[in-house]
Chain A
Amino acid sequence: MTRDEISALLPFLANGTLEGKERAEVEAAVAADATLQTELAALRAIRETMQSEDSYSPGEMGLARLMRDAETQVPATRIQRPWIWQAAAAVLLAVVIGQAVLTNREPVPGGFELAGADDAPISAAFAPDTPESELRDLLLRAGVEIAAGPSAIGIYRLEPLEGTDLSEAARILRAADFVESLEVSDDQ
């Protein structure tokens, strides 16, 4: 381990989280170097000073606010949409895709469309109350980007990023609770 590597791990010796071989190496380096010993002592002092600062927090008032707002929102896993609506969404999605293929349709009004969006192989609809942060996380994990949409009925067309395996991307998207329907074009 270089001196810089030892130096980078010193804060983790100071906070007691370093383990195994790394800990032994850093401890040995510190034992042999007076400057590292003083630096370690300084880091421990900084940590102790930071942790000993009094910290106000919202406490029970924050909890009361949380309980009140939790009342109005249901955890995502407990949202059970009637199967008839899921089936209807799937049929509607198939019809829309069919129309798009047969009529070589115009760009979808109401959403945005990028060059090459017509080639986007995935069409998906998401639960309307999906937070943007969760949608973003899912798209990043699946390795896809939005090529067009949302359409008037909320359908997005998704394009795999370079190097993304289409079937794997579809698998990740399907696994998300808030993906209400998903179609993957066969000609990709």
Chain B
Amino acid sequence: MDPHAQILTQIAHGDKQALAALYRALEKPVFRFIRSRLNDPFESADILHDVFMEVWRSAGRFEGRSKVQTWIFGIAYRKVIDQHRKRGRVDLTDDIPETIDEDPNAEMCLAAGQEAEHVRHCVGQLKEDHQTAISLAFYEDMTYGEIAEVAGVPEGTIKTRIFHAKKLLLHCLQGRLQRGATA
């Protein structure tokens, strides 16, 4: 049972208190996702506002094919993409990922994975689509099916993105730790 489905129905009927309740329930995770993608708190706040205004305008058109939260993240994802296009940053094609053959040293990755600064830096180094997949998997604990719905791509594409994103992330963490150790 979708915990937000009833509230969205109320929003579709113009209930502003229901809109406020949905905002309070989802504002933090949606903002965190947007901010992780734009890296600008003011711009992210504007996009968050636009997302909930679109929820207000479009609640009646929600078809219930996904969870309400997934639908809202999908709106946020499209707005972030639009924002990147405005900035002239379009980096959505990850069909040919940077390949790294050797496996990273998992022990080193484990140590670096506990350091927020390393993690923030390495997630920030990933390509657009890879970052989105990792953010939704690790910040929001989404299934690969939900991430596919948000990004509007097949599940197999998300598995491929996650596979490469994970590898690049772990290599980056290993590199950070090695450089730190030798510095």
Contacts and interface: CB of A to CB of B under 8 A. Distances in A.
Given A67-B16, A76-B61, A62 B113 contact: no
Give the secondary structure class of A's interface: helix
Interface string B145-182: 00000000000000110110010011001000000000
Contacts of B137: 11-12, 15, 47
B98 to A, nearest CB: 16
B31 interface: yes
B110 A62 contact: no
Given A58-B31, A66-B52, A69-B49, A11 B113 contact: no
Contacts of B58: 75-76, 134
Contact of A8 (B35, B78, B162): B162
B149 to A, nearest CB: 13
Given A38-B106, A70-B19, A76-B61, 13 more contacts: A11-B162, A15-B137, A39-B106, A42-B170, A45-B113, A49-B119, A51-B138, A62-B48, A66-B23, A66-B49, A67-B16, A76-B58, A133-B82
A57 B110 CA distance: 29
B20 interface: yes
A162 interface: no
B28 to A, nearest CB: 5
Contacts, number: 157
Q: Determine chain B's interface SS by DSSP, over half rule.
A: helix
A75 B170 contact: no
B14 A8 contact: no
A186 interface: no
Contacts of A74: 14
* Max chain A Cβ within 10 angstroms of own Cβ: one of B11, B134, B138: B138
Given A12-B143, A66-B52, A70-B53, A55 B106 contact: no
The 5 closest A-B pairs by CB, nearest first: A77-B60, A38-B106, A45-B113, A8-B163, A42-B109
B97 interface: no
Interface residues of B, number: 58
B116 A62 contact: no
Given A11-B166, A46-B119, A57 B139 contact: no
Contacts of B142: 15, 17
Nearest to A78: B14
A16 B45 contact: no
Interface of A: 4-5, 7-12, 14-18, 35, 38-39, 41-43, 45-53, 55-59, 62-63, 65-67, 69-71, 73-78, 131, 133-134, 176-177
A176 B61 CA distance: 8
A55 B138 contact: no
Interface in B4-38: 11-14, 16, 19-20, 23-24, 27-28, 31-32, 35
